[in-house]
Structure 1
Amino acid sequence: MTGTYRSILIEEMRKRQRKNPAYSLRAFARDIGISASRLSEVLNSKVGLSEDRAAIVADRLQMKGKEKGFFIDLVQAEHARSKLAKKAAAERVTAYLMDTKKISDEHFHLISDWQNLAVLELVDLPSTQHNFAAVATRLGISVGEAEATIARLIKVGLLKEEGGRWVTADADSTTSVDVPSTAIQNYHRQMLQRAHRSLDVDPVESRDLSSVVFSLDSKQLSYAKERIREFRRVLSQELAAMPGKDKVYSMSIQLFELKGDEA
C-alpha cells in the first residue's frame, strides 16, 4: 500500500465498484462515515481529513494495527497543524514503507534492465515454455541474456524454481516513488527505447503510442502524478485479472509488446 491516503481511498472505492458496478461515491461516503460532498472535496484535494476523522475512516475500512497507523500518518503528514507533527508522521510513513515488501533501490539496480521485469511476467503465462531458448525467443533476446536474467532474478529472490518451472517469489513488488536513482532512470530510458522500436516496427493495431497537450496549475502536478499512478495501477490490475493472457506488454502511457531487437 503506497501513495497518499487519497489514493488508498480511491483504490478501495474502485475495488468495491469492480465487484458491484452500481456502487457509487455516495455509497462509499456512507460506508466510511463522511458526507458525499465532503468525500468529493477530499478526493479532489480541496480539503483534508483530521486525525480523528482518519481514525474513524480506518476503522470503517477495517484497518488494524500498522495498516491503520500508516493511514493516519499519511493524513497527518499532509494535514497536521504543526510542522513538527507533520515531520514526525512523514518519518513514520517512511519507516513503514521500508518495512513492507518492496524491491529496494539496491535490488532495482541489480535488475534494472527491461528484460528482468518482462521475465517476471512471462513465466506466469500459461503458454510459456520454461527453458532458456523459449524465453529468449518470446522476448527477442539471446539465450545467454535469458540465462543471465533468470539467474539474476533467482539471486535477488524474485524468482525461484519449482518442479522444473520458474515461478515468481514476490508478487506485486514496487520501487520507491520519486527517488533519484540511476537504476530507475536506466529502466525508464530502456522503456522509451523499446517504445521507439515499437513505433518503427510494430503495426499500429498492435500498439498505442499517444500523447495529449494541455495546461494546468503547476501546484497540482503532484495530484496529476497521483492520478496517473492510480490509473496505471487500476488498469494493470483489471487486465491482469482477465483470462487468456499470452504476451507481455509495457505501459508508460505508451502501450506496446515488450520484446528485444532479435524478435
Structure 2
Amino acid sequence: MKPITEYQDYRRYMQDYYDERKRVSSFSWREFARSAGFSSPTYLKLVCEGKTRLSLAGAENVGAALHLAGFELDYFKSMVTYCHAETDLEKKKAFETMLELAKNNKVKIVDGEAFKYFESWVHSVVRELAPVMPGAKPLDIARRCCHEVTAGEVRESLDFMVKNGLLKKEGEAYVQVDRHLKGSSAVMPVALRSMHREMAEFAKDAIDKFPPSERNFSGLIMGLSDGDYKKILQELDVCRKKIARIALNSRGTDRVYRLNLQLFPLTWEEDK
C-alpha cells in the first residue's frame, strides 16, 4: 500500500487499506467497523462511498484501527479536516498542516511543491525576474517588485525553486529550467484560487498605481447563450496560447507583467 503522504483524500486511503486487507484475508466491513468502535457494520463502507463522513473523534478511532500512530495519525486526522473544510481558507490551512507534518518527518507529499508554488504570487514573479538580474541580491530583487515583499521572502523563494528544479544557479546568476509543476485536480484549485484573488487585487490597484500607457484595461458587458459562452472560452484559450508564444520567444525582459483573462456572469440564470 502507498505511503499515507501520497493521499489527500482519507476515504481513498481507507478504501485502499480495506482492499489490501481483503486481498490477503477474509477481512470484512463489519470487522473494520468493529475494530474502530462503530456498532453499524456498514458505517465505514458508507464513509468510503461518500454517503456519510467521519468526525474528528471518529477519525481518531479509525486511525487506531488503521494501525496509525505518531505523525501518520496526525496526518490522517488532518486529511479528514481538509476533506470536510467548507472554505478555501480552511482547506488551505489543513493542507499546510499536512505539508508541515510531511516536512518535519522528512517525507514528501504529492502535489506539495506545486501547491506551494501556486499559492503565492512571489514565486512566479521571482522566477521571471531573477534570471534577468544576474548577481542581484534578494533585496535588489525585492525592490524591483511593485508589491511588498521582503528580501527574506525572495531568498526563500529562490531556494525553494532551486531545490525543486525550477531555477538553477550558474555562478552568481539564475537560469530558468523548463519544468512545469502540475498538481492533482483535488488540491490545486485551492492554491490557484488564492493566486487569482491576489492577482485580482493587484489588477484593482494597478488602475491607480500606473498610468494608462503602462497598463491596459478594457471590457464588454454582453448577453450570451450557453453555446456562445463556450465559443468565447475557446477563443480566449487560443488568444492566451498566442500570447504565451510571444512571451516565450521574447528577446529580453524589461518588466514582469501579469495578464488576467476574465469572463464572468453579472446575472443569474433564469429559473427554468
TM-score of the aligned structures, taking structure 2 as reference length: 0.48
Bigger relative contact order (CA 8 A; separation at least 6): 1
TM-score of the aligned structures, taking structure 1 as reference length: 0.50
